[in-house]
Structure 1
Amino acid sequence: MKLHRDGFVPHPRDDGFSLVETLTSIAIMGVVMTALTTFFVSTTNTVNKERGLQMAIRLASDGIELVKSLPGSALAAGRSAKDVATQLSTDVVPNLDLGSLATTMTMVSDPTLPAGASSLNPALPVVPEQLTVNDAVFKRHWFLGSCVMDPKLGSGAPCLLSAGVPNPLSFFRVVVAITWQNSRACAGGQCSYITDTLVASSTVDPVFNPSVTVAPPLPDNPGNQASDLNVPALPVRLTASSSYPPLTWSAEGLPPGITINDAGLMSGTPTAAGTYVVRVIVKDNASTNDASFNWVVNPLPKLVVPDQTFDAGSVVSFQVPLPGGTPKLAWTAAGLPAGLTIDSATGVIKGTTTASGAAAVANVTVGVTDSFGQKSSVTFKWNTKVAVQYPNASTPIALTKDASYSGSVVAAGGSGGYTFSSPNLPPGLSMSAAGLVTGKVTSGTRFLVTVNVKDSNGVTNSTVVPVNVTVPSGLKITTPAVSAPDKSSPKNTALTFTPVATGGTTPYTWTATAVTNLPTGLSLNTTTGTITGTPTTQGAWVVLLTVTDKTGATSSFAFTWTIT
């Protein structure tokens, strides 16, 4: 052996891998990677399936806990026989044969619901519940039946349609099924998890310590009820909380035609209108309790509206009377005079009638529908009377003593062909039948003038217009003032009021005249004009004070005196 000059033996030269070795390595790696891919896919599918199964188990357990929280007597509440039959024929749950399910238990529905009725707020839904958890959709199916067990066989005995032995133990069987989609993990892409539980259907729960105070059942008051006469009432289901079910219901004071069954369902058709104070009594295995409410049975809606009459141009607010019907109401109206509408919720006709044209008579049809769909309508006449449109009762007319005046009265509505008159124009003025007022006012100071109008049909109307007459010189009344003419005084309170006149030649003489004269209890001193006394009657009096001076000149002042 030859030594290297450094004293070391050299290694053999490394010439690398051969082609055969390289191809063999690649083949081995391909086999390993293929095996790992299958493993990863399988592992992922298994994880997805297990994740869905764990959530399904949780949802099913929640359902079982809900069942355990309910008394057995409440499980069938609200489940109609029609919907239960539909559920058995249409629901689909993998790994659960609904046909064979019906052979192991008798399907249960709510016996208080009428035949052919739909389910009413069932405690256990008849259609699948859709539950979304972490973007995954699950469906929870509920199946309820009854079965019996042989007590001699103990807790391990099967629960079947019939035990075939005397005095079997009765149970409700609740099957809870959870379904969800997983196209890779489950056959046909539909997964399921199924569990069930038994709930005793016995109506007797033992009370082991009779010295313990038992809380009575607590009924939920349904609140006041309303129905239409001879129309089927909306069913009312009573509920209550109790530690000792089952519950049995009865009632006192129900409207005739309304009944209640043991399960607390009130239904029927009321046959007598009126207000009834209803007392419902609930009884469990330990005690009783009650609740009260009013039940109003309304007569059917029937509109009876007398003909209406309003002045042309007047503001209208007319409540259409309705004896009967149950709110909520819906109102309609056709043929109303221009300017008027009806409130669809309240039945109030409101607006302002137009004051142009021969408005005369309109045929109005009003209809109403109540909350039970009962309807009524009526047609009546709406008369728009002739009315004085000018002068306006809220705007005084300003005149001057001894100055010439000419003005016309204007009317609207009615049938046309108006005739005018006035019984109390200021002295010196006259009115023609056509409504033309002319002349010179010969005295002051304030007048309340009545203007009458009659149309060609003989319909009459009137208005009262204040007229203020300015007196440049001579006799006039300054108190009360034209700017604040009317007075108000309290009843049974003594008063003294002295009007004031100026101008003319003293001494003055005073008088007070009107349709009603002075308010009851007051008197006028004709020398001083002082009014004294104690008013004894409430009301409004139109008073005309007149003062006459030594030469015979007069001045008048009209105002309204209100006793409150």
Structure 2
Amino acid sequence: MTTNVVHYTNNGDGALSDTFIVQDDSGNDITYNVTIQASTSPITVLPSILTNPAVGVSYSQTLTASGGVVPYTYSISSGSLPAGLTLSSTGVISGTSTYTGPASVTIGVHDSTTPTALTTTKSYSFTVPPPVLVISPTTQPAGTVSIPYSQQLNGSGGTSPYSYTLQTVTGKGLPPGLNLASTGVISGTPTTAGTYTASIVIVDSTTGSGPYPVPFDVSITINATPVVVVSPSTLSAGTVGALYNAPSLTLSASGGTGPYTFALTAGALPAGMTLTSAGVLSGTPTAGGSFNFTVRATDQNAVPGSRAYTLSINAPAMTITPPILPASTVGVAYTSQSVSANGGTAPYTYAITSGSLPTGMTLSSSGALSGTPTSGGSFNFTVTATDSSTGSGPYTSARAYTLTANAPTIALSPPTLPTMTVGTAVSQIITATGGISSYTYSVSSGTLPPGLTLSSSGALSGTPTVAGHTISPSLLPTVQPAAVRISARAPIR
């Protein structure tokens, strides 16, 4: 018996089956059906399975390959990863899934063998579970009746953006006056105090089996409107030109939630004073009288409270200095002397309101006394200072003065007269200083030598006729007058 062997070689066309016929020794056809197995790659891809991603959670998984020539290149050959995940050419699957439900992907891998790269594929299946959605906080900050309210709900655990709706549930709901926007903002102006629980549904943007609506109970407490009280109830009086309640007065508030801010809402403070947002009332008033104004305190929840005040600012106690004035002298300039006021609001103006200054002197509006007296004696006058206060001002203060103008000291020149000779004409001019010109000259005691005269203008002239004793070594006759007093008199104006 003869045994025949059939040999088969696949042509490599990629077909997974083939059929051929041969004849036996008797001429009968024998049909062969061949199943062709896919070629086996030497490349192995790990891991064999992948962990499931979670919606909204960062995911990263690195694939590795062996059995070929590095480096390897990875790509998706069929199926798809869950939405939000990507595959890099180096084999890293990463991202944040926005998809829930099942997903399958086949990843192709080829190595660096030349001239023909070795390839393989690796299939993976995922099941992405539904996300756990959360609204926070479930207890919202408290509100206050009649005070605008606005709070943002925060969603997490799924895929943003989130939308929010109010679910109708018997016995539940938002406080009257509040509404819920689809963006999660609870806002409005509460009208009724109490604690309220609302059923709010959060919906995320997950695809696949999503999105997932989840209800949560959110509670809000609305407090009654507090009564904010401003203190003190009254204000102490101030004085023009004096620091108020030195160094300052701080208003306070109670009944609300601090800190408070303060503001002037009606009327006006005295000129020179201010009120800070912290409630500090300070300054130096420059206006007198009664001032009506209203202060409002607002707490951190915007709850206001007001108080009306009347602040009295008294007239200043003004004084003028110096108490006395130094004496002046006729014919001598009076300088470096002024009067000044204090106790009111600068600047001050000064004026003589009764009496008069010595002739030749003046008082400026700034208080400077100056000039050269031309008359002597005692002069009585009153200086009045006027300040710059407003309101019930300006205010004045007066002081009476007596200013003495002393007589001048007049000196004659020359102090001695030259020797004169009988029969020789004499002409000598006598001058005066220290008073007010012009001067009048006269002999006030004794007599001139015979033949000489003194004019009222101070000219000594004439020819001596009587000789006295000889005092010169040359025995020339000389005239030595008897004791004579010549005086000069300044005019009195």
TM-score (ref. length: structure 2): 0.32
More strand by percentage:
2
TM-score (ref. length: structure 1): 0.29
More helix by percentage:
1
Larger radius of gyration: 2
